[in-house]
Amino acid sequence: MVLIQYHLDLKIRYNSVSMGITEDIFGTFCDPDIGEKEVKRYTLTCKSGIEVQVISYGAGVSAVLVPDKLGNKEHVTLGFDDIKGYEKFGYQGSSVGRRANRICKGKITIDGQTYQLNINNNDNHLHGGKRGWDKYIWESCITDGSVVFSRLSPDGEEGYPGDVLAQVKYSLDDDGSLHIDFEAMTTKATPICMTNHCFFNLAGHCCGQKGLFEHVVKVNADRFTPVSKDLIPTGELAPVGGTAYDLRSPITFGEVLPKAPGQGFDHNFCLHQVRRGELGFAARFHHPPTGRVLEVYTSEPGVQIYTGNFIPKEKGKMVGRNGSSYTYQASFCCEPQNFPDAVNQPNFPLDIYRPGQPYKHSMMYKFSVEK
């Protein structure tokens, strides 16, 4: 009841209009529980020429347009022309939760009680389960300079304990910094870990593997969490030195990906000197031919670097914006978050939140052009 009243208060509190944001309807989603519902789209622009679109389906980023060093604008995230694409191909730009990343066997134990979460990734739980938060329409509204999405996740959803009220706020600064602020509160002890799941290619969304391999990447991490064959952390915090995961100095994806064991990167990096709760530098990506730069900042202790390893290699299997074909290792994700499976790893940072203990995560994508 407390969370429901807080939800109503939020909707009243943010019922205002910002002159810097426009709103339209992106499409209609047929919710299996409540039927058809409109998907709202909001467009944020700034003086540096960057444009960001966010939608109420999955509280996600549907488009980011960034000029290159010649002033030519291009989409730098994968995306779709209509809502059907987002329904078919999960996590594209979405806010993921209740718990981002993987939980081993979908089992969590809190205060001596074991809960079985829904299994949706081999034998494990991924990104909130079969119907995570990325697959719902969120309530939305505009406040000065920001778009705010909110959703009430009921007790027992996907097996998780507790009602959780979650909020995602998007703000775009004139210097090209997209701030994403996550907040949540719960009625029972439960894991909470939220992040954004954009797929980037700074060369342009349709530029394929060649464009990805041209990116120069730097990650502010001196350790990483090794994983099993099912990509579940072993519990070790291993030094990156002498491994393919040493991204402390700038290196191209083209140089480092062939050295990465398995299919590529889908690993958590432990950030160096980033204090939890304070915004700190996580990673930098630069595409020299266009000059486009993305810097990522977070208040969480880790960042998952993923290189699109599970997108099909065959063209035409995943058709995106303007009929573009998105393929294997043609994009990357940089997902700030707590370490995967932290609820089952006693040496990983806190993963359980309790009534009266709000969850907060601030992250930032900063776009710029290096001429």
- State the catalytic residues: 197, 335
Record the tokens describing residue 155, joined without a space.
């007790």
**Binding residue per annotation — 101?**
yes
**Binding residue per annotation — 266?**
yes
Separation between Cα atoms, residue 345 and residue 353, nearest integer Å: 16
Q: Where does 62-165 have alpha helices with state H? A: 83-88
* Residue 86 one-letter amino acid: Y
**Binding residue per annotation — 163?**
no
**Gyration radius (Cα) of the chain, Å:** 19
Buried b (16+ CB within 10 A) or exposed e, 225-258: bbbeeebbbeeebeebeeebbbbeeebbbeebbe
Q: How far is CA 289 from CA 50, 78, 155, 247, 305, in A?
A: 18, 19, 49, 21, 22
Apex CA 104: angle with CA 317 and CA 248, to 5°? Answer: 75
Tokens 């134990």 belong to 109
Separation between Cα atoms, residue 194 and residue 96, nearest integer Å: 6
Separation between Cα atoms, residue 248 and residue 306, nearest integer Å: 17
Q: Are 246 and 79 in contact (CB under 8 A)?
A: no
Contacts of 88 (CB under 8 A, 6+ apart): none
* Burial (CB count within 10 angstroms: exposed 0-12, middle 13-18, buried 19+), residue 107: middle
List the binding residues for beta-D-galactose.
Answer: 101-102, 266
List the binding residues.
Answer: 101-102, 266
